[in-house]
Chain A
Amino acid sequence: MSGRQDFVAGLRRWHVFARLGWFEVKRRYRRTIIGPLWGTLNLSVFILALGTVGGGLLNKTFSAYLPFVATGMIMWVFISTIVSESCSLFMSNHNLFRQMQFSYSTLAYALVWRNVIVLLHNLAAYFVIMLLFVPGLVTPWTLLAIPGLMLTAFNAVWIALLFGMVCLRFRDLQQLVTTILQIGMFITPVFWTPDSLGGIRHLVFVQLNPLYSLMEVVRAPLMGVPASAQVYITAIIIAIVGSSLTYAFFGYFRKRIPYWA
């Protein structure tokens, strides 16, 4: 199987990744009443607390700051979970592909699908908070969140495969990625607004920060405005460069995956 055949086979047998992804979520529901919604509840408390304290610290009104933190945190959890889970993509699934011929892309699709389902749970927090505190935030622009999410999900697929492969071969990198993600939460505009940085800092931590663009294509529409053209262009460039790199890398090293595992 070549790399391309692998991508196609994984997509064509979509019911495999759909089932693997959905069952991971479903298992979190077992023996609990609200299952993965505990994560959502947890996140909501965090958002409300931070929205109150942070709004005061940054001298912003509650109704202006709350949606910003809510959308930022929801998207940050989505992206950072995907990146950190990507690192163990092949390590945690080796019982599947060490038994039979397997399209490895299936694992990446399943990972992304699972996280999209969890994101939909977390968006419940968004809707509840918005209805309670900031009605009127949802505008027709909000619909742009859907193509935005598709763009981010596309990026998530190559991230899952590339990080999965590299971390499988070099086990140290998983720790490194964890560290970077921890800092990433603070150096990416999740709690603070992009316009509060200027000059070179704005360039490095906002414009050139890939995590920001991948987050913003969904976050801005959720706040009722379209993302800036620059954000879209950056996200599209990341998609093109990242997927080409992964395509080449996967095509070349795909057959070594079972040997690395």
Chain B
Amino acid sequence: MTALVLDHVNVDFPIYGTQRSLRKILLQGATGGLVGRDQARSNRITIRALVDVSLDLQDGDRLGLVGHNGAGKSTLLKVMAGVYEPASGRVLTRGRITPLFETMPGLDPEDTGYENTITAGILFGMTRREIEAKVPEIEEFSELGEYFALPVRSYSTGMITRLGFAVATAIDPGILLMDEGIGAGDARFAERAAKRMEKFIGRSRILVLASHSEALIRSTCNKAALMKAGKILAVGGIDEIFKEYHQIIQ
């Protein structure tokens, strides 16, 4: 069974601007003593990015996250991915988490397409053998031909996108976390990419997709959550969530 459960999760981002320097902290210690320091702590600017978020996702759930820019969608995905640990509350996951925020982790322009493929696969948690087994398929799908053995710095933007897409969609995702769809290059490639994407999402047990595209969410998700100012306002069917979302916009 795959599951992803969030239990009253809160996330605060401390904003270190002026008081990031050691001097200030040392001076605070010297001038204000313990009280001053406490005061400084409560004066510290923090942004509450997620407020009391609870979610229960089980096998087969495909959740679309809907909300304005800055509503907390991306932060929520990063908490699910385990990048940020919540200030309070708990995140329970069962199953392998595959976050797809940027297409290729560890990409280095000096390395060849092949080398970058292996690095990305290893960073995604695959063994060397697992990723090697996927190489022919990645090479074929990305249509890089001879370029696969050349450094990535010689690629066009479209070629990098294709390679990233081919690598990312080659894995077996478990719990798949996506921030917007993955870009897929020119029109001809986009069509093949859409098919591959569909299969890729189909292999996942749970999907969480943050997107501004109503069409994308409608075509891939079976439920949706509406976010505003770090809170989840509602979770439910896609139609009712979008109805609420349009009401907020107006």
Q: List residues of A whose CB falls within 8 A of some B CB.
A: 1, 15-16, 19-20, 23, 27, 30, 95-102, 169-173, 255, 258-260
Contacts and interface: CB of A to CB of B under 8 A. Distances in A.
22 contacts: A15-B127, A16-B122, A23-B119, A30-B110, A95-B106, A96-B123, A99-B83, A99-B99, A99-B105, A100-B83, A100-B123, A101-B83, A170-B20, A170-B22, A170-B25, A171-B20, A172-B21, A172-B22, A172-B23, A259-B14, A259-B84, A260-B16
B23 to A, nearest CB: 7
Contacts of B81: 99-101
Given A16-B122, A171-B21, A23 B115 contact: yes
B108 A258 contact: no
Contacts of A30: 110, 151
A259 B21 CA distance: 16
Interface string B90-117: 0000000101011001101011000100
Contacts of A102: 83
A37 B111 CA distance: 20
B122 A173 contact: no
Given A19-B122, A258-B84, A173 B22 contact: yes
A255 B122 CA distance: 23
B172 interface: no
A172 B97 CA distance: 36
B228 to A, nearest CB: 23
B22 A23 contact: no
Contacts of A15: 122, 127-128
B123 A16 contact: yes
B119 A100 contact: no
Name, among A15, A19, A30, the residue most crowded by chain B CB atoms within 10 Å (CB to CB): A19
A170 B21 contact: yes
B202 interface: no
Contacts of A97: 83
Nearest to A100: B99
Name, among B13, B22, B119, the residue most crowded by chain A CB atoms within 10 Å (CB to CB): B22
A237 to B, nearest CB: 27
Given A16-B122, A19-B122, A99 B102 contact: yes
CB-based closest 3 A-B pairs: A101-B82, A255-B85, A170-B22
Given A30-B110, A102-B83, 6 more contacts: A20-B106, A20-B119, A23-B108, A23-B111, A98-B78, A99-B105
Contacts of A259: 13-14, 84
Contact of A99 (B13, B22, B85, B101): B101
A2 to B, nearest CB: 11
A172 B22 CA distance: 7
B19 to A, nearest CB: 11
A27 B13 CA distance: 36
A16 B123 CA distance: 7
Contacts of A260: 16
Contacts of A99: 81, 83, 99, 101-102, 105
B242 to A, nearest CB: 29
Contacts of B82: 1, 100-101
Nearest to A171: B20
A29 to B, nearest CB: 10
B210 to A, nearest CB: 15
A27 B105 contact: no
A82 to B, nearest CB: 22
A54 B121 CA distance: 51
Contacts of B151: 30
A27 B111 contact: yes
